[in-house]
Every structure is written in structure tokens, then in C-alpha cells.
Amino acid sequence: GKLRRLSILKVDQNKLIQLTDSIGDCESLTELVLTENQLQSLPKSIGKLKKLNILNADRNKLTSLPKEIGGCCSLNVFSVRDNRLSRVPSEISQATELHVLDVAGNRLTYLPLSLTTLKLKALWLSDNQSQPLLTFQTDTDPETGEKILTCVLLPQMPSEPGCQDNLPRCGALESLVNEMSDETWNERAVNRVSAIRFLEDEKDEEDNEMRTLLRRATPHPGELKNMKKTVENLRNDMNAAKGLDSNKNEVNNAIDRVTTSV
């Protein structure tokens, strides 16, 4: 807390279980990176960091955010991906300079209505999200009666403990929180095959195998574009080849006609 001129603090990939309250006295901080630790909460004093532009606390064990986070009036980028958050405090709207909010991979059931007052350029809710800002609908929380925001990617619920191996990587998966590395995830995604089986009358195993649908990991959008280009090129080549064949046939037919007439 005595480091009044400290502007950047990066303590990612450690085993921190707590962030000291005196962090709020580091008044010159503009960037704070807490990624990949074991933090379960952030101190209230973090709201005293008036110059903070970037706050990254991805892949921790955060279960809540202090409402004082709204005091970070210069905050531009706030990322808490892959934690255990069930809600985002409505006070976050007080951070009026916030442009990028990443809350993907948590346990959110909804977002606070106050987010609509922010000029967000990107809001990430899912690893598979294809666009930075989504169309939200207003709703009412049946338990509290509070006005909330919801969309197709909410709620983000934790997976069932016994079903982790059968789920794709999206939303809040417990294994993400339990320190599973991205390399392990990527390896599983490549090798994972999901089988869909239909309940029928008793039949032999071979017949059942023939009736099993296999679902493999969906390619990245960039890969899909390349695949589309490849298919289009093949189609054009085939059409061109067909055109050449038809021209050859016409020439051959013309030669046959000439030969016949001669």
C-alpha cells in the first residue's frame, strides 16, 4: 500500500488466496492482473483505484464481486472469466468508462439492468459467443422482483459433477474452476466424440452401432470459412471441367457430322 507510484501490478499464475486491503492505497495503479490464482473475493478497497484502466481476474475462484467496484471510474476493461460468480453487482454501472466486460464461464443467471447505461463495446458471456454485443430482453427475477437483463446465453449454470466429460466447453464448468489447463481442454475437445443412442426394442450390438449418431467438436468459424472456400473452389473446378467436357462433346459431334456428310 505504500507503493503510491506503482502503475502496473501483475501477479498472475501464483497461488494467491487473498488480495490485501492495502491495494486500495496504490493510487497510481492503471493495470492490475490477478489471472490464474485462487482468489475467492476482491477487497472493497479496490474501489479506491480511480486511475485503474484494466482489471483482469480470470480463472480464480471468485464467488462474488464487491459493489465498490463501481468506484473504479476510469476502468475500461474488466475481465472475470472462468470464476464462480452468480451475479454482477448493479453498482458496476458507476464505472462509466467501462467498454469491455468479460464474464464468460461463470454461473450467472442474469445481468443487472443498470448495464444498459454503459457504453459497452464488447460483452462476453460464452466461450462460443460469435459477436461482442448481444440483444438483451428485460425480465423480472421471480425471487426478488428485480428488473434484470437476459439473453440466449443466460443463465450460465454449473455442470453436473458426473457429466463433465460429456459436455462441450461452454458456460461455467466445474473443471475449469478446478484448475484444469487449457491444453487439457483442447486435447479433450479434439478427441471427444459424443454418441446419441435411441431406445429401441432389444437388438444385437451391431445393429445398435449402425444406429448411433456421432457428434464431433464444431470447427472454429475461421475454419468453417476456409472449408466453405475450399468447397466453392472444388465446385467451380467441377463446373469448369463439365464445361470442357461438354465443349469436347460438341466438337466431337461436329466432327462426326462432317465426316458423315463427306
Q: pLDDT of 215-261, one tens digit each?
A: 566 666 777 778 888 888 888 888 877 776 666 666 666 666 655 55
Cell of 28: 497510481
| Nearby residues of 128 by Cβ (< 8 Å), 6 or more positions away | 168, 170
* Backbone Cα Rg of the chain: 28
Amino acid type, 216: R
| Nearby residues of 87 by Cβ (< 8 Å), 6 or more positions away | 64, 108, 109, 110, 112
Where in the chain are the domains?
A: 8-150
List pLDDT tens digits, range 85-138.
999 999 999 999 999 999 999 999 999 999 999 999 999 998 778 778 888 899
**pLDDT attached to residue 40:** 96
Q: Does the pLDDT at position 11 exceed 50?
A: yes
Which regions of the chain does DSSP assign to beta strands (E)?
8-10, 31-33, 54-56, 77-79, 100-102, 111-112, 122-124, 137-140, 147-150, 193-196, 213-216
Q: What is the pTM of this model?
A: 0.61
List pLDDT tens digits, range 179-226.
445 555 555 555 555 555 555 555 555 555 555 566 566 666 777 778
Percentage of the chain modeled with pLDDT above 90: 51
Cell of 170: 461452454
- Number of Cβ atoms within 10 Å of the Cβ of 143: 7
Pick one of 3.40.50.1970, 1.10.1840.10, 3.40.50.720, 3.80.10.10 as the CATH number of 8-150.
3.80.10.10
Distinct helix (H) and strand (E) counts, the chain: 4, 11
**Between 170 and 158, the higher pLDDT residue:** 158
Q: What is the DSSP letter of 143?
A: T
Separation of alpha carbons 255 and 239, rounded Å: 24
**pLDDT attached to residue 134:** 83
CB–CB of 167/173 below 8 Å? yes
Separation of alpha carbons 202 and 127, rounded Å: 40
